[in-house]
Amino acid sequence: MSLRKFLLALLFFWPTAANAGELTDADNLTAHDFEFKAIDGGRLALSQFAGKVILVVNTASRCGFTRQYADLQTIWQRYQAQGLVVLGVPSNDFGGQEPASNAKIKEFCAVNFDIDFPLTEKTVVSGDQAHPFYRWASDELGMLAKPRWNFHKYLIAPDGSIADWFASTTSPSSPKITNAIDQLLSKTS
């Protein structure tokens, strides 16, 4: 069974996430209307990346997909000067695979993968308590595009719209993702 068929089957059995009801004028929102808290504290407003392509990835350091950190760092280094931002969003939502503190997460990423792309503080990405960005993304793209595990990816266009999403099993360095990045970046130059 293909991943897409499996996800479609889950549609009938998986509870839906809460809407971003507390946000006003939801039909006109873009990714640039949201902000996270940075892993070191402070605001991390997505509006600061307006005009750039953003790859938002919920991460975990004890997951079978944790090795994707290396590919995320590689595409960050490859495309950063052209206008790509990789944003890691550590989350403990799936399998309790990110139990560490923000300081330990940052240290783990630096020591093991030499990560220097922006990281948020540990954030809820699923269910009723999901960060408003994730509720908005789910509303925009539907149930099949909701994170079901660690290393789920959203690709944000320079105008703040969601261009695509990619399942956890899709490597950040896969042609599917790099071609989508190339296409969006070609529209910004």
Handedness of CA 161, 17, 122, 34 (dihedral sign): positive
C-alpha 41/C-alpha 118 separation (Å) is 12
- Residue whose entry in the numeric block shows the structure tokens 């640039």: 32
Residue 86 parent element (H or E): strand 84-90
From the list 53, 54, 63, 125, the catalytic residue is 63
Structure tokens at 54: 């953003």
C-alpha 70/C-alpha 62 separation (Å) is 14
Instruction: With H, G, I as helix, E, B as strand and everything else as coil, classify residue 1.
Output: coil
CA 7 to chain CA mean position, Å: 18
Structure tokens at 178: 């790099």
109 is catalytic: no
Angle at 150 between CA 47 and CA 159, to 5 degrees: 20
**Catalytic residue numbers?**
63
